[in-house]
Structure 1
Amino acid sequence: MLRIPHAIGPSFPPGLTRLRAKAEIYSGDAYFQEGWEDLAVVAGPRAAALALRHALLLLKPEAFAGRRAERTLHWLADRRCRIAGCCSVRLGRHAVQALWRYQWNIARRERKAACERLMASGRSVLLLVAPPASDISAAEWMADAKGAARPDQQRPGDLRSELGVTATQLNFVHSADEAADVVRELAILATPTARRRLMQHADRGADAARRAAQLCAQVEAETPPHHLDAERALVAICASAPPGTPARGVLEATADALRAGASHDWAALERAVPRGARRSLRWDLLVIANHFAPPDLACANLLVPSLRSIRSGDPRAASHGKLLEDLPS
């Protein structure tokens, strides 16, 4: 075990992260502790190796509304990634907050609210994935291969590029950044029984590709299809009030402000929608909330940065970007 200066909990298992800040904070994180205890019960002395060999990939609700699940599974198969286990999860506000707890200190409230509503809009599917062996952890491989959330930073062949991501927050998939995050996020996303089952399947080298395809098909069947296009959504929302009425004028003015970037108040648009139309416009409203969510605060530092943010030179990652290899053992 590593002895971490300024640690706020038990000693941290070595090899699961490259970042000092993560090791220090996760040593006292209740989700990480719980996930690590379960992994140690399942795999014993192989626990760290098991975490390093597996990535966590979450197919979010918009992946099912936008019919991107099958393409995601094909992308994994084309890259010889074995799905070791899967389960469906339904996330509430507190689970969403926990998932991004150490990055959302720079997120504005409107962005967090939009993401919470999106993630709570239906079931997601959690995949535990074993990519081909490489010299980095499976989680690091997946975090890099899935690509950036921002469309202008994506590369050809990245999962998000292949899926056609056009808005940062409507990015279809989430993956754990490092092995330490796989352990922590399994404890957030899955019940104790479900995560131990996933760990057991991974430990014995199971192949759950068929089960994953069946589960994704079930979730897709219960999710209404949607184009996820912000302009089409704005048009549909404005059309919910009759032409020439004060309500239509408010909707069109609010939509124009969003288009022009003069406002990020997506909730104002929702409030202006006639009450009887909100149910049928549910996904249109979700798309608008997440497409026009405000940018993050530029003056704050991330509590725990991602490896991508450090390698890209993001100044918000600078104060916590020291590599764990620099620590004394």
Structure 2
Amino acid sequence: MTAAGDTLLGALTPSAAKAEVYAADTYVQESVDQLRDLGIDPAAFARDHSLLLLKPDAVVARAVEPTLEWLAHNDFEVVAAHRCAVNRHLVRAIWYFAWNIASAERRRLADLLVGISDALVLVVRGEADALPVSVRLTAAKGPTDPRKRQPGELRYLLGQHNFLLNLVHSPDDPADVLREFAIFFDEATRRRVCTDATDGAARARELARELYAVTPARSFERAAAVARLRRDLGAANVPVAPELSDAGCARLLYDAWAAGHELDPWSVLVLGSYVLPMRTGSGPQTLPPVTAKTWMEGRS
């Protein structure tokens, strides 16, 4: 990307490190080039729009309608909705600069999650005043850590209080909007998002019905996961202790994986999300997250 591109990214993130890395990022380049070809200012698009990914766990939780209602009540307009096939490569592309601290167990669970269902990607628009839409949306949706969520936040509303199965993702800042726009959508889809006027919320509801028809609702409760895994292992003549601590549940999963037992993926996801380590504990992620606080500090 040219020096003008460096200047563009410098205005779209408070992180100098991110601006430097994203200047050479293929996804960012694709979005910027196409938006300019369409006569759209990439900086304005990135400030005024964001994306909201409803992950496969959101489909299982039947979270689409509550999310749409929350967005409308918080002055976000859904301008497009698309069903998105997910796989391990898409997951790694989205979180490429953060997953250096993800544990092997978290990566394994994430790879199971993408096999549960397709995802739903919403393109949202709002007013970018002191905060760009992406920064405002990310702050309003609530943190990954369920202990830090507050009433009024989207993740608090959706009610599945779990670190890994947190249902939704959104880009941190406008630079991330440009990058993720090209991760989720190919060139033709990006053009439709930018040029077709549709009722995005209505389309999201239609897509949700399709996803729900092929993806059963499941329990997010640890006890239900343990009960299902007991049945799976019992069918394989594997004894399971009557009472299982966190360490015992973790050992059950490790041993089952090592032995190659066939287990219900959803139950493994739920139990593993409660008892397996999610982070390596070795240093910060490659690019630190941008928050409303760091955005405002970077603009001052």
* TM-superposition CA deviations, 1:29-87 (whole Å, max 9, x none): 1111112212222233x221111101110000011111111111111122232101111
* TM-superposition CA deviations, 1:146-175 (whole Å, max 9, x none): 000111010110000000131111001000
Alignment match, 2:52? 57
2:156 to 155, 161, 177: 161
Give the direction of change, closer, same or farther, for the CA distance of 1:291–1:221 in structure 2 (3 Å limit): farther
1:221 to 206, 213, 219: 213
Q: Report how far residue 271 of structure 1 moved.
A: 5.5
Alignment match, 2:11? 15
Alignment match, 2:274? 291
Alignment match, 2:24? 28
CA contact (8 A) 1:57 1:173 kept: yes
AA partner of residue 96 (structure 1)? V
Alignment match, 1:308? 291
d(CA) in 1 for partners of 2:6, 2:159: 42
d(CA) in 2 for partners of 1:325, 1:118: 37
| Equivalent position SS for 1:84 | strand
* TM-superposition CA deviations, 1:213-261 (whole Å, max 9, x none): 1112211221111011122101221133449x95023xx48x825x247
Alignment match, 1:178? 173
After superposition, residues 225-244 of structure 1 pair within 5 angstroms as 225-242=217-234
Bigger drift between 232-241 and 85-94 goes to 232-241
What is the aligned residue count?
Answer: 299
d(CA) in 2 for partners of 1:310, 1:80: 21
d(CA) in 2 for partners of 1:120, 1:169: 15
Tell me which of the two structures has the higher relative contact order, counting C-alpha pairs closer than 8 angstroms and 6 or more residues apart.
2
CA contact (8 A) 2:57 2:167 kept: yes
| Equivalent position SS for 1:101 | coil
d(CA) in 1 for partners of 2:68, 2:101: 32
| Equivalent position SS for 1:58 | strand
Bigger drift between 213-222 and 261-270 goes to 261-270
d(CA) in 2 for partners of 1:165, 1:117: 18
TM-score if structure 1 supplies the norm length? Answer: 0.81
Bigger drift between 87-96 and 283-292 goes to 283-292
Alignment match, 2:253? 266
CA contact (8 A) 2:55 2:119 kept: yes
d(CA) in 1 for partners of 2:252, 2:239: 17
AA partner of residue 98 (structure 1)? A
Q: Report how far residue 264 of structure 1 moved.
A: 7.0
CA contact (8 A) 1:106 1:296 kept: yes
AA partner of residue 40 (structure 1)? R
CA contact (8 A) 1:64 1:220 kept: yes
d(CA) in 1 for partners of 2:254, 2:68: 34
| Equivalent position SS for 1:127 | strand
Bigger drift between 152-161 and 285-294 goes to 285-294
Q: Report how far residue 262 of structure 1 moved.
A: 8.1
Q: Report how far residue 139 of structure 1 moved.
A: 0.2
| Equivalent position SS for 2:232 | coil
Give the direction of change, closer, same or farther, for the CA distance of 1:104–1:50 in structure 2 (3 Å limit): same
Q: Report how far residue 274 of structure 1 moved.
A: 5.4
AA partner of residue 299 (structure 1)? S
Alignment match, 1:7? none
Bigger drift between 154-163 and 11-20 goes to 11-20
Give the direction of change, closer, same or farther, for the CA distance of 1:213–1:297 in structure 2 (3 Å limit): same
Any gaps of 5 or more consecutive residues in structure 1?
5-9, 312-320
d(CA) in 2 for partners of 1:144, 1:165: 18
CA contact (8 A) 2:249 2:271 kept: no
d(CA) in 2 for partners of 1:76, 1:306: 22
Identity of aligned residues (%): 30
d(CA) in 2 for partners of 1:162, 1:247: 39
Alignment match, 2:112? 117
| Equivalent position SS for 2:223 | helix
Bigger drift between 35-44 and 137-146 goes to 35-44
d(CA) in 2 for partners of 1:71, 1:30: 34
Alignment match, 2:33? 37
Give the direction of change, closer, same or farther, for the CA distance of 1:132–1:232 in structure 2 (3 Å limit): same
TM-score if structure 2 supplies the norm length? Answer: 0.88
Give the direction of change, closer, same or farther, for the CA distance of 1:104–1:310 in structure 2 (3 Å limit): farther
Alignment match, 1:317? none
AA partner of residue 101 (structure 1)? Y
